[in-house]
Structure 1
Amino acid sequence: MLLRRTSRAPRTSRARRALPGAASLTIAVLVLGGCDSGSGSAPKSGGTSGPSVIVPGKPGEAAETLSAADAAKQRNEDDSPNTADFAYARMMIEHHTQALEMTALAPKQAASGQVKRLAARIAAAQGPEITTMKGWLTAHDGAKRATEHRHEAMPGMATEAQLKELRTARGRAFDALFLKLMITHHDGAISMATEVKAQGNNIQVEEMADDVIAQQTSEINRMRELQ
């Protein structure tokens, strides 16, 4: 899957996303000359009706004061990766890696040709996605932002006991267990993708999440038909 860096109109949800430096940075609002009802002073330049906004800078940079309109524009245009974006990429690489481990068993152990073809399709999609996400992390210095996580924190991951059972299953027993585990696995990936769309800030990560949701929803429907 290739990243699609395309321009597009700002979405309403961008307005609530974080400014550079933190995933949930609170903006300090400073009203300049606001409540003097009898001053008769001339309107401030810029044509804005809201208060000025103090925007904290990135680490090592000073804060700046922007008009309400400029602050809103910056929120809309900035797509600097935040904590949710980095966590999604790292965890989805591991999530996809387990899916590849499961699909690699199908050629020799599945009875159904449909299950074998489905497994091949999943592998063909998720292998390149792993490469893309690793490249994204490298490009955004993600290695320095690593955090600890466990399988239990990632929805849909098969347990080691389930993987052991899948490795020893053959024929129809393999098909049934593979479909059961992979549906759960895909459901978990969709949950993760949906979450990062709400909490992340980077447009490339959002596009990757959109692809996961579309692809894996389609595959879930197919797997349910095969059960």
Structure 2
Amino acid sequence: MPTPHRPNRRLLIAVAAGAAALVVAAVAATAGGGGSGETGVSASKTPSTSPVPVVVPGRPGESASTVMSNELTVPDGTAYNLPDVYFMRMMIPHHTQALEMAVLAAGRTNHPQILAIADRVRAAQLPEIAVMRSWLAARGLPFDDPGHDHATMPGMQSADRIKDLTAARGDAFDRLFIDLMISHHQGAVKMATDVLGAGRNEQIGEMANNIATEQTVEINRMREAFPA
């Protein structure tokens, strides 16, 4: 497998700035049910990304500029195939569920490592969702496949498990959060590894490589912090 190029971090920051607030609002609004037992964001829903002003950071020595989020473009390789499209479509709800679990941490635990994990999930996966949606939109492809059961994706947690996490507090929340998040990350690593073997698109290869690497590191951190 060819060594992928480093992703355009400047672009990711810009896209994230335009989409992050919208995604957080959507996730928090549905996940903030407290003890009501509401399951929060369903895996089949994806965050809205209506055009908003985005500050694009300048390179060293350059000033920032402002553009509309729908004017941002994502450079990538021109060729893609069905495994590429499948990966981008399926990873959106997969990431969205991870964000739902991350949002639940605030108010349910005071454990600094759990809160740090939740922060890292948001920091990594919000911009990735924005780039996935931009990639699909640029090709006129829908964000979702209505015929696909998202519950069958590797690492996806059932509605009952999300209800359990929503209702948990303190140590019970910490342990369940770690169990669910490790399983969820393992699923993302599998999906990323699969597309690295079957996909063709350069940008997707870069993103999949980053997801596999970063989430493997995160799995190891969680296991070290919370041994079975």
TM-score (norm 2): 0.64
- Whether 1:212 aligns to 2:184 is no
- Structure 1 counterpart of 2:86: 87
How big is the shift at 1:3? Answer: 4.4
- Structure 2 counterpart of 1:47: none
Q: Which stretch of structure 1 is more off in the superposition, 95-104 or 146-155? A: 146-155
- Aligned pairs for 1:69-80 (under 5 A) are 79-80=78-79
Instruction: Count the aligned residue pairs.
Output: 154
Output the amino acid matched with 1:188: G
Q: Hey, what's the Cα distance between the residues in 2 that align with 1:203 and 1:141?
A: 19
Larger radius of gyration: 1
How big is the shift at 1:217? Answer: 0.7
Task: Indicate the SS of the match to 2:107.
Answer: helix
Q: Percent identity, aligned pairs only?
A: 47
Task: Indicate the SS of the match to 2:148.
Answer: coil
- Aligned pairs for 1:136-215 (under 5 A) are 136-143=135-142, 146=145, 148-215=147-214
How big is the shift at 1:170? Answer: 0.1
Deviation string 1:126-184 (CA, Å, 9 cap, x unpaired) is 01100010001111222299462112331000100100000000001000000000000
Task: Indicate the SS of the match to 2:96.
Answer: helix
Q: Which stretch of structure 1 is more off in the superposition, 125-134 or 145-154? A: 145-154
Kept in 2, the 8 Å contact 1:4–1:207? The answer is: no
Deviation string 1:41-79 (CA, Å, 9 cap, x unpaired) is xxxxxxxxxxxxxxxxxxxxxxxxxxxxxxxxxxxxx85
Task: Indicate the SS of the match to 2:214.
Answer: helix
Q: Hey, what's the Cα distance between the residues in 1 that align with 2:191 and 2:143?
A: 22
- Aligned pairs for 1:1-227 (under 5 A) are 3-4=7-8, 79-143=78-142, 146=145, 148-227=147-226
Output the amino acid matched with 1:187: Q
Q: Considering only aligned residues, what root-mean-square deviation do their CA atoms show, in Å?
A: 2.0
Kept in 2, the 8 Å contact 1:197–1:206? The answer is: yes
How big is the shift at 1:81? Answer: 1.2
Q: Hey, what's the Cα distance between the residues in 1 that align with 2:191 and 2:84?
A: 11
Output the amino acid matched with 1:157: M
How big is the shift at 1:4? Answer: 3.9
